[in-house]
Every structure is written in structure tokens, then in C-alpha cells.
Amino acid sequence: MAVKTSRIRRQKIRYKIRKSIKGTSDRPRLSVFRSNKGIYVQIIDDVAGHTLVAADSGKVEGSKIESAKQVGKAIGEKAVAAGISQVVFDRGGYLYHGRIKALAEGAREAGLNF
């Protein structure tokens, strides 16, 4: 029962965040999904409905927090190479702590502004 309620709680938070955050072509949305094994991130233009850049922790070694930081750096480098410098951060209903925070710090170090 706790799993169902925590999933519903995160879904409600996610919908509330998505009401106020929209990704445009000037400032796309940096969307984060965290599972027990990995972390996935993509930069999305919501107006056109396209994923511009994506990265995940599939082949990254180290602890979960270290791999999240490396994924953040990877998405930042790919975004800068694609000409994206500013994004809107969508934490996906997760708390800004731990792996989400490490990913954000890695993306900022690579040159993304949010």
C-alpha cells in the first residue's frame, strides 16, 4: 500500500510542477526520471513536442550520486554542442536532494543555466 501511495504522491507533485513549467524552443525543459538503478534526463521542446538531447546512466560507473553527476555533465555538454544554453529544470516530482541535486550541479558545471 505504501508503494501505491508514494507513486500517487509523486504523480500529483509532477502534475503540479508541469502546470507551471513549459519548455519552449528558446528555453527547453530539462526533464529528469530516476529509477532504482539509473537516472535518465532529456531536454524537451514542449511546443514542437520533440526531444532535443538525451542522456542516461547506462554505461556510467561509480556510485549512484557520482553517476548522476556524470550524466548531468554529459547532458550539459550535449546541450551546449546543440546550441542550448538555458533550460527550465523539471525535477519530475522528486525532491531536490541527492541524485537530482548532483545531476543539476553537473549540468551547471557543463554550462547550462537554470
Cα-flanking dihedrals φ and ψ of residue 84, to 5°? -105, 125
Per-residue pLDDT, 42: 97
Per-residue pLDDT, 68: 97
Asked if residue 10 belongs to a domain, the reply is yes
Per-residue pLDDT, 111: 95
Looking at the 3D structure of the chain, how many domains does it have?
A: 1
* Nine-digit cell string for 114: 537554470
* Nine-digit cell string for 22: 513549459
Binning pLDDT at 50, 70 and 90, where does residue 4 land? confident
Asked if residue 71 belongs to a domain, the reply is yes
Which domain range does residue 45 map to?
Answer: 2-109
For residue 81, the domain's CATH number is: 3.30.420.100
pTM of the entire structure? 0.88
Asked if residue 30 belongs to a domain, the reply is yes
Identify the three-state secondary structure at position 51.
Answer: strand
pLDDT in tens, 34-58: 999 999 999 999 999 999 999 999 9
Asked if residue 114 belongs to a domain, the reply is no
Per-residue pLDDT, 1: 57
pLDDT in tens, 60-103: 999 999 999 999 999 999 999 999 999 999 999 999 999 999 99
